[in-house]
Structures are given as C-alpha cells and as structure tokens.
C-alpha cells in the first residue's frame, strides 16, 4: 500500500495542480492507494522584523475563504483537508510516521523560508518530492538555463516571443481521490488538526466590503477560492474586458480598470496556465488586440520575477539585493508616517490609506508609494515590502520582492531604480483629484 502526504502550500486549488497529479501517480504503487491532503496554517500572531503582523486582517480573511473553498472541494471528493495549527516541520513528520507515508509531495517554492521548510522535513528523515508549477512557462522549456536568464525584462520577453515559447495546456482537476488513511486521535491532537479551512470569524468580519474598494473581497464575487476565481475570470472574458485592458490598466480606482486576477493567482486558486488558455480561446473567438496582448505581457512579468528567484534565490532577500551599493540608514519615523498615510504627500497618503482600508492597491499606486518610501523618504525597501506583505490580499513573495527591488534599483535591471514624481503622477492619473478626495487627502 502506498500512502502519500500531499502538502498544500501556496497553490490552493484542484485544477492544473501538477504536484497533486504527481502525488496521485505515486500513490498508485502496490496495493490500495492512500492520500492525505494537509495544510499547515501559518502562525496568526507572527510579527515581522518591522514590528507589525506578517499577515494583516485582509490577507488573513481572504486566505481563510480560499482555504474554506479548497476544504469544501476536497470533502466533496471524499478526501477532507487536514488543517494543522503547527509548523510543517513539526506536523508533517508526525503525520507521516503515524500513517506510514512513503513520501511527502508538494509544490516547489523558490524562496528562502519555504526552502528551509523542505530542508527541515528532509532533515527529519522524510522523502520529499517537490514539483515546480508556479510559473506560466516551464523553466526547462526556455531558451536559457536558469543561470543564464537575461537581466532585462524586455530582452527576456522578446526572446520568448521570437522563439514562440508557449506554456503547456492546463491539467484538469481530479474527479476522484484515494481515501485518506486513518490518523490516530492523539496525533491529530498533537498537530492541532481540524478539518476544512476553518474561517476565523474575526478575520471574516474584518472588512472587504468598503464601498470605495477596488477589490471588495468580502462580497461573494470577489471572495477567496477557486470557485470565485474561475467565475470572476469567466465574467471578465464574457464582458470582453481583455480588449480594453491596455487602455484602462493604469486606473487608480474601480473594479474593472484591471483584471483583478492577482488575489486568486497569488493564492494559487487560479492557475496562470488556465488563465492563458482561456485568454487564447477568447482571442480565437473574439479577436486579439493590444489589450488582450498586454495581459500576456503582464503575466510574463509575473513569470520573470519567479524565474529570477530560481536564478538568484536568497540574494534577492538581502538589503543590498543584487546591487553593490550599501543601504542608506532607514528613517523609521518617515516609514511610520508612510504606512499610516500621513506623509503630507496627498497621492501617496491616499494610496496608503486605501491599502490599509481594503487590502488592495492599483499597480500604478504601488509604484508611486514604493518609490516615495525609497527615493523620497530614504526608507529601507525591505520595510516597505514587509508592509505590503502584511496588507495585500494578493501578496506573492516573488512579485512583491521583485517589484520592490526593481523600484529600488537593486534587482537585475541596470537602470538604477525608478523614481515616480507624485505630483506628476497625480496630474496624469488623478487630474481632477477624485481619487485623493475619495481617501480624504485633497
């Protein structure tokens, strides 16, 4: 009998889940296959080195809903999700021993903390199979080895487009799962286990219904989970919004100015390959234009930051990043004013108030706010990245780290940082002051 622990990590979905497919294949060894789907909740009270919660109320609420949806889907297939209130390094070895698991199978995450988690499991004597699935494109299908990835995004994109590199088709969700093995009650207790994604009532009531929100995650259409994510994408396509995407994507406020795929992509509730396959089908039916092309362009940015992590790993998490320039001393007081939306710069303050109130911010305002902290307030970019991690419902380690490094001029791009002049940005993107008035700064 082959028993496999399937460890859900970032990607909380059943469709296009290559790691889950690998686990199912592995469970089909001799005898009766058994599969135990497990998720380890991160500690809710973890505090970042900058002195605030690592996952704030918006992110916790969106994540809880995502987990709930996954739990329901697995339960419907007869294989309930075991949710543990313990670190993976504690919970998984105990569970694996208790059920005689042959291996732990999970997705690969190329970020330092997540790599340390896998190393801890291996050190505890577990066999761990990791499967890379987080990018649209398979790193092995690229024209370069990971170590030779171009340092400039445009070079990367143009080479891919010239070579006609396309992702593999998304995999369907499994229609049945092997029954889970019995776990002794004392082991369940030791790993703090419950079943399904228990929705924390405080987190659920934390917000997400602010009428000013561009992503009201407390409303059914924007809630966490594969079901809502697929439905959101289907309605975006049905309303032919990809055609107008390029013209509207730099908007500051509203539910339709950009695709709003990020919260579901970031939690892995939606697969990028599924998104692209649907986009291609849309183009086949309704025609391609600059707008639909630009969605692919932005999804490539997402891939690029993932691949940079495969290439440079922990170096992207140092203060210096990939640059040799030392860090200026961090202005802690300026940082506090920034994160509370009290710098006196109206566009930046409005953005920071929106972020804290809703957990979402447009791309344009993320750029303006990050640039202001780094280039005007001389703040440490890592503090800003940590605040975004805490607040964003679409927090994603690769995209967050990559964008902050890019604006700080500490990534691969040799252009030495990007400063956005807030007054100019306000003139261009908020000429009548509507956005600043919405958030009480004009």
Ligand X SMILES: Cc1cc2nc3c(=O)[nH]c(=O)nc-3n(C[C@H](O)[C@H](O)[C@H](O)COP(=O)(O)OP(=O)(O)OC[C@H]3O[C@@H](n4cnc5c(N)ncnc54)[C@H](O)[C@@H]3O)c2cc1C
Binding site for ligand X (CB under 6 A): 249, 258-262, 265-266, 295, 298-299, 301-302, 305, 362-363, 366-367, 370, 388, 392, 394-396, 399-400, 403-404, 407
- For ligand X, the closer of residues 129 and 248 by Cβ is 248
- For ligand X, the closer of residues 298 and 376 by Cβ is 298
260 assigned to a ligand binding site: yes
240 assigned to a ligand binding site: no
The C-alpha atoms of residue 328 and residue 331 are separated, in whole angstroms, by 9
- For ligand X, the closer of residues 181 and 422 by Cβ is 422
- For ligand X, the closer of residues 3 and 343 by Cβ is 343
Say if CB 108 and CB 76 are below 8 A apart: no
The C-alpha atoms of residue 65 and residue 60 are separated, in whole angstroms, by 9
3-state secondary structure of 275: helix
302 assigned to a ligand binding site: yes
- Which residue from 178, 184, 143, 176 is spatially nearest to 161, judged by alpha carbons? 143
Residues 6+ apart with CB under 8 A from 352: 338, 339, 340, 341, 343, 369
- For ligand X, the closer of residues 79 and 213 by Cβ is 213
217 assigned to a ligand binding site: no
- Which residue from 83, 61, 63, 85 is spatially nearest to 74, judged by alpha carbons? 83
Min dist. Cβ of residue 358 to ligand X (A): 13
Q: How many CB atoms lie within 10 A of CB 195?
A: 13
Min dist. Cβ of residue 23 to ligand X (A): 26
Min dist. Cβ of residue 205 to ligand X (A): 24
The C-alpha atoms of residue 322 and residue 411 are separated, in whole angstroms, by 5
395 assigned to a ligand binding site: yes
- For ligand X, the closer of residues 64 and 292 by Cβ is 292
Min dist. Cβ of residue 296 to ligand X (A): 9
Q: How far apart are the first and last CA of the chain?
A: 67
The C-alpha atoms of residue 384 and residue 80 are separated, in whole angstroms, by 38
Say if CB 339 and CB 387 are below 8 A apart: yes
258 assigned to a ligand binding site: yes
Min dist. Cβ of residue 70 to ligand X (A): 19
Residue indicated by tokens 């577990």: 126
Min dist. Cβ of residue 102 to ligand X (A): 35
Structure tokens at 388: 């975004």
Min dist. Cβ of residue 291 to ligand X (A): 11
- For ligand X, the closer of residues 134 and 259 by Cβ is 259
259 assigned to a ligand binding site: yes
Min dist. Cβ of residue 370 to ligand X (A): 4
396 assigned to a ligand binding site: yes
- For ligand X, the closer of residues 129 and 378 by Cβ is 378
Residues 6+ apart with CB under 8 A from 125: 93
236 assigned to a ligand binding site: no
Say if CB 30 and CB 189 are below 8 A apart: no
Residues 6+ apart with CB under 8 A from 349: 341, 342, 343, 439, 441
Query: Residue 343 half-sphere exposure, CB side, CA atoms within 13 Å?
Result: 25
262 assigned to a ligand binding site: yes
Query: Residue 54 half-sphere exposure, CB side, CA atoms within 13 Å?
Result: 10
Q: What residue numbers does the annotated binding site for FAD cover?
A: 245, 258-262, 298-305, 394-396
Q: What residue numbers does the annotated binding site cover?
A: 245, 258-262, 298-305, 394-396
């Amino acid at each position: 009998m082959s028993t496999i622990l399937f460890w859900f990590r970032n990607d909380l979905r059943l469709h296009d889940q290559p790691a889950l497919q690998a686990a199912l294949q592995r469970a089909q060894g001799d005898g009766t296959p058994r599969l135990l789907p497990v998720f380890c909740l991160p500690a809710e009270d973890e505090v970042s080195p900058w002195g605030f919660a690592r996952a704030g109320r918006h992110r916790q609420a969106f994540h809880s809903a995502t987990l709930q949806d996954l739990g329901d889907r697995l339960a419907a297939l007869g294989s309930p999700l075991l949710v543990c209130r313990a670190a993976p390094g504690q919970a998984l070895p105990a569970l694996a021993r208790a059920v005689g698991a042959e291996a732990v199978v999970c997705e690969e995450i190329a970020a330092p903390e997540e790599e340390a988690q896998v190393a801890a499991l291996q050190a505890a004597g577990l066999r761990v199979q990791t499967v890379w699935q987080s990018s649209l494109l398979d790193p092995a299908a690229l024209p370069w080895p990971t170590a030779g990835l171009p340092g400039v995004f445009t070079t990367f994109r143009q080479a891919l487009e010239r070579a006609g590199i396309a992702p593999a088709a998304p995999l369907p969700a499994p229609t049945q799962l092997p029954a889970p093995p019995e776990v002794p009650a004392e082991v369940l207790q030791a790993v703090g286990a419950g079943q399904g994604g228990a929705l924390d009532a405080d987190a659920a009531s934390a917000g997400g219904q602010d009428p000013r929100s561009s992503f009201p995650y407390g409303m059914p259409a924007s809630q966490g989970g594969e079901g809502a994510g697929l439905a959101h994408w289907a309605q975006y396509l049905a309303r032919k919004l990809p055609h107008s995407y390029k013209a509207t994507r730099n908007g500051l406020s509203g539910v339709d100015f950009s695709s709003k795929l990020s919260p579901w992509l970031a939690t892995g509730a939606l697969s990028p390959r599924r998104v692209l396959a649907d986009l291609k089908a849309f183009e086949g039916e309704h025609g391609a234009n600059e707008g639909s092309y630009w969605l692919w362009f932005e999804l490539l940015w997402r891939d690029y930051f993932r691949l940079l992590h495969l290439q440079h790993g922990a170096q992207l998490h140092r203060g210096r990043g990939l640059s040799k320039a030392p860090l200026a001393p961090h202005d802690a007081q300026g940082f506090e004013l920034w994160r509370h939306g009290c710098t006196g710069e109206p566009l930046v303050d409005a953005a920071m108030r929106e972020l804290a109130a809703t957990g979402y911010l447009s791309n344009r305002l993320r750029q303006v706010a990050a640039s202001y902290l780094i280039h005007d307030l001389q703040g440490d970019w890592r503090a800003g990245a940590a605040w975004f991690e805490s607040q964003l419902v679409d927090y994603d380690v690769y995209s967050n780290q990559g964008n902050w490094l890019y604006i700080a001029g500490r990534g691969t791009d040799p252009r030495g940082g990007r400063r956005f002049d807030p007054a100019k940005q306000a003139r261009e993107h908020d000429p009548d002051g509507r956005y600043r008035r919405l958030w009480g700064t004009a």
